[in-house]
Amino acid sequence: MLHIKSLDEGLNVFKALGSDIRIEIIKLLLENKNMNMNELASKLNITNGALTSHIKKLEDCGIVIISSESTGHGNQKICTVHLDKILIELDSNEESENIYETNISVGHYSDYEIYPTCGLASSTNLIGQVDDPRYFAHPSRFDANILWLTHGYVEYVIPNLIPASQKIDQITISVELSSEAPGSNDNWPSDIYFHINDTCIGTWTSPGDFGDRKGLFNPDWWYPSWNQYGLLKLLVVNNEGTFIDGLKISDVSIKDFQLDYKSTLRLKFEVPNTSKHVGGLTIFGKNFGNYNQDINVRIHYSPIA
């Protein structure tokens, strides 16, 4: 998912989409999952040179990604649609000085309950043994950039460093998530629950544990048969309720928590063993997946009346 926070920020995306040919390219790639440059040019009845110009515009704004594939006739450039959603904020009057932003590393959880299959890894190696929950207490877990579990939870403390005498009006969380299947399985639904301070704010069903292609930022040593990437999800809790990717998932609002500059903030990701789809959870951080980011949190605040 691409989150565009203002019209000015999205200008390159809007320009890239302002072409019938580029829209047709996206439709063809979605229909066929991926295509090489020669196939695309042939389908569109344009030259490879003209296609290259259109693909570059789509690639520059992150809509399409290009990878190389070796064949008997040399290397082919394979085109794939990179985004599943584009979320645009048309009414964005927020003042940057009224936002506190922080990033939480995947391994910096404060509490957990883990059931295999499970594991952790840094950008350079596995941390301990896979499928052994004891290693979630290992000192090296702070270096983890990815973790996975079949059911259970991990909980993080969100640093609350907003100025004194301020109240919290909105919390925005951006994180790359997927299910957790043995190996990988693109059709492996999992009900993932989100909690703030022990209150469930909503659920999202991950469609699968994606392994059809290599994650863009995965290290070279990462096993090709394991989970490769997730979907970037944007979770927002404000006065109107709780939303994921702009769609309301519950009536739990920020007002229910009465949060201010003194409040402790705990964020929990959970897959209960009692849910309909117990398909596990994978959290991707920097150096893994398709987005190369940790758990990003933005806290909007204003003076206490």
Q: Which of 83, 117, 142 is the last residue of a domain?
A: 83
Range of the domain at 117: 94-303
Structural domain tally of the chain? 2
| pLDDT given for residue 3 in this prediction | 74
Say if residue 139 is in the same domain as residue 249: yes
Q: Which of 83, 118, 139 is the last residue of a domain?
A: 83
Q: Which residue has the tokens 């030259």?
A: 47
In a domain, 210, yes or no: yes
Say if residue 140 is in the same domain as residue 237: yes
The 10 Å CB-count burial string (b at 16+, else e) for 201-236 is bbbbebbbbbbebebebbeeebeeebbbbbbbbbbb
| pLDDT given for residue 240 in this prediction | 97
In a domain, 89, yes or no: no
Say if residue 122 is in the same domain as residue 159: yes
Say if residue 70 is in the same domain as residue 132: no
Q: Which of 83, 112, 135 is the last residue of a domain?
A: 83
Residue with the bigger pLDDT between 82 and 138: it is 138
In a domain, 88, yes or no: no
Q: Which helix (H) or strand (E) holds 232?
A: strand 231-238
Say if residue 32 is in the same domain as residue 137: no
Domain CATH number, residue 47: 1.10.10.10
Say if residue 18 is in the same domain as residue 67: yes
Say if residue 145 is in the same domain as residue 271: yes
pLDDT in tens, 252-281: 999 999 999 999 999 999 999 999 999 999
Distance of CA 227 to the CA centre of its chain: 14
Say if residue 105 is in the same domain as residue 213: yes
Say if residue 63 is in the same domain as residue 103: no
Say if residue 193 is in the same domain as residue 152: yes
Residues 6+ apart with CB under 8 A from 149: 114, 115, 116, 117, 118, 180, 271, 280, 281
Q: What angle do CA 60, 84, 177 make, to 5 degrees?
A: 105
**Residue 294 token pair:** 């940790």
Say if residue 108 is in the same domain as residue 37: no
| pLDDT given for residue 259 in this prediction | 98
pLDDT in tens, 125-171: 999 999 999 999 999 999 999 999 999 999 999 999 999 999 999 99
- Cα diameter, the chain: 70
| pLDDT given for residue 91 in this prediction | 58
